[in-house]
Amino acid sequence: MTKDAAGSDLHVVILAAGQGTRMKSGLPKVLHAIAGRPMVDHVLRTAAAISPATTTLVIGHEAEAIRGHLREQEGLQFAVQEPQLGTAHALQQTAPVLDGQTGTLILLSGDVPLLRPATLRRLLEVHRGAKAAATVVTAVVERPYGYGRIVRTSGRIARIVEERDASPAERQIREINSGIYAFDLPPLFDTLRTIAATNAQGEYYLTDLIAAYRRRRRPVETLVVDDPREVRGVNSRTELAEVSATMRQTKNEELMAAGVTLIDPATTYIDPDVTIGADTVIHPGVAIQGQSRIGAACEIHAYVRIVDTEIADRVTIHNFCLIIGARVAEGASIGPFAHLRPETEVGQAAKVGNFVELKKTTLGPGSKANHLSYLGDATIGPNVNVGAGTITCNYDGRTKHQTVIEEGAFIGSDTQLVAPVRIGRGAYVAAGSSITEDVPAGALGIARGRQTNIEGWVERKKNAG
């Protein structure tokens, strides 16, 4: 690996030690989810895109919760900040690993999750091109309230002033600090040590580094992003919702550009990793989450939630279905009001109707379970008709048992199949049966009380009363 190409002199630090007071939450701020994934995961993903030599996360408040969440992240180092005395103090905690290194340090904020890798690459270009000591990513926004403001003199950045310390005139400035920077490593830690906590919050502000560099006549650059939404920080639940909406909107626009119809993008919730084929139509109130893959020319009606599920082409999902960890083959039809639970496979052109629940069940191609059924731990062959109200009794209080229904079988309505049990090829089960023994191929299984009609019973009962 050469130095410049692979970023072996490139280090990323992510600040995530703060309490996130304004979230009013027991959960650390960076673990709050945006589009189904904790905020910090989005930031780590962006960081990984520039292939840094090291990535260090500064943690403090609820450190163990964050460490626990990220324990499987390879090559991630942690620095603990205790107590949390401000952003400059947070960065100082990485001195044991980074002081003495050369190259560039990219500083990211755990609460700025929409930053794009392309912007980080531009930041590196500008920073290296200018041989700057620091380069600050900024944005010009309509509502600068709460952000640090960029104070310029003769067009150049002079310092950053925090909201609480700003004069009324400074509060009018609409160019804000995104909290994302590139730093030249050699002078960084020495200069950080000179920062004092003489401000409204009594904290060590990283933003004071800019003025410190300017006093030392070190070059400081800025990179102004085109779309300020990209550097929106999350400090409150309102901002969490706004940032989530932006992420969703971006995804929805990508999908529409690729040929997917969204009837109402404002109420369509599709996670970033989801793929959807062209000419699929998605109705309002639909959520498609996790690693779901949806084929082409499908129709997904209103108020459906699909999680980690694979759906082939030309599938129709009717209203109000919940589908988790399932696979649905081409041309199948699901719902309304169906529940497909993990490890369910619905075959080609099969039909799952209203109030039908499937769990760990394969429903063969062309088979139908149209009404009011529970089918669990079942293997159902092709072209089977499962009558209304059929229930697999798969659980005996201790273990789960399998039900097998072979090709072309017909299960009459209101049948209980007490597992383990097998219904042979082409067999019939009479309606209302409690089937406890296998039914051979081609046979009729009937297991219900015989009907008796007692003539004149009603009249006699009335007279007796």
**109 touches ligand UD1 (CB under 6 A):** yes
Query: In degrees, to the nearest 5, what angle opens at C-alpha 286 toward C-alphas 282 and 292?
Result: 85
Catalytic status, residue 61: no
Residue 40 to residue 440: CA distance in whole angstroms:
57
**58 touches ligand UD1 (CB under 6 A):** yes
The correct pick among 54, 56, 87, 367 for binding ligand UD1 (CB under 6 A) is 87
By CB under 6 A, the count of residues binding ligand UD1 is 29
Minimal distance, residue 345 CB to Ca ion, in Å: 45
**205 touches ligand UD1 (CB under 6 A):** yes
For residues 233 and 364, which CB has a smaller minimum distance to Ca ion in the complex? 233
Residue 204 to residue 191: CA distance in whole angstroms:
12
Are the C-beta atoms of 277 and 296 separated by less than 8 Å? yes
| 207 interacts with, out of Ca ion, ligand UD1, none, CB within 5 to 8 A per kind | ligand UD1
Burial 257-292 (b: 16+ CB within 10 A, else e): eeebebeebeebbbbeebebbeebebbebbbbbeeb
For the chain, how many residues are written?
Answer: 465
Query: In degrees, to the nearest 5, what angle opens at C-alpha 339 toward C-alphas 336 and 340?
Result: 120
Residue 209 to residue 189: CA distance in whole angstroms:
10
The correct pick among 57, 79, 90, 304 for binding ligand UD1 (CB under 6 A) is 90
User: Exactly one of 89, 318, 339, 371 is catalytic; which is it?
Assistant: 371
Going by their DSSP bridges, the two strands 10-15 and 54-59 should be labelled as: parallel
By CB under 5 A, the count of residues binding Ca ion is 3
**110 touches ligand UD1 (CB under 6 A):** yes
**147 touches ligand UD1 (CB under 6 A):** yes
Amino acid letter, 82: E
**111 touches Ca ion (CB under 5 A):** yes
Residue 339 to residue 25: CA distance in whole angstroms:
32
Select from 104-112, 147-155, 283-291, 392-400 the region that touches Ca ion (CB under 5 A). 104-112
| 177 interacts with, out of Ca ion, ligand UD1, none, CB within 5 to 8 A per kind | ligand UD1
Minimal distance, residue 216 CB to ligand UD1, in Å: 20
Minimal distance, residue 237 CB to ligand UD1, in Å: 14
Task: Name the residue whose CB lies closest to ligand UD1.
Answer: 148
Are the C-beta atoms of 297 and 316 separated by less than 8 Å? no
**213 touches ligand UD1 (CB under 6 A):** no
| 84 interacts with, out of ligand UD1, Ca ion, none, CB within 5 to 8 A per kind | ligand UD1
Structure tokens at 226: 């085109």
Of residues 274 through 333, those in contact with ligand UD1 by CB under 6 A are: none
The correct pick among 148, 228, 325, 335 for binding ligand UD1 (CB under 6 A) is 148
**Secondary structure element (H or E) that encloses residue 188, with its range:** helix 185-192
In whole angstroms, how far apart are CA 434 and each of 187, 194, 226, 356, 370? 80, 81, 68, 19, 20
Rounded to the nearest angstrom, the gap between the alpha carbon of residue 57 and the centroid of all alpha carbons in its chain is 21
| 428 interacts with, out of ligand UD1, Ca ion, none, CB within 5 to 8 A per kind | none
Residues with catalytic function? 371
Given the rule CB under 6 A, which residues bind ligand UD1? 15-18, 58, 81, 84-87, 89-90, 109-112, 147-148, 160, 162, 176-179, 205-207, 233, 235
Contacts to Ca ion by CB under 5 A: 111, 233, 235
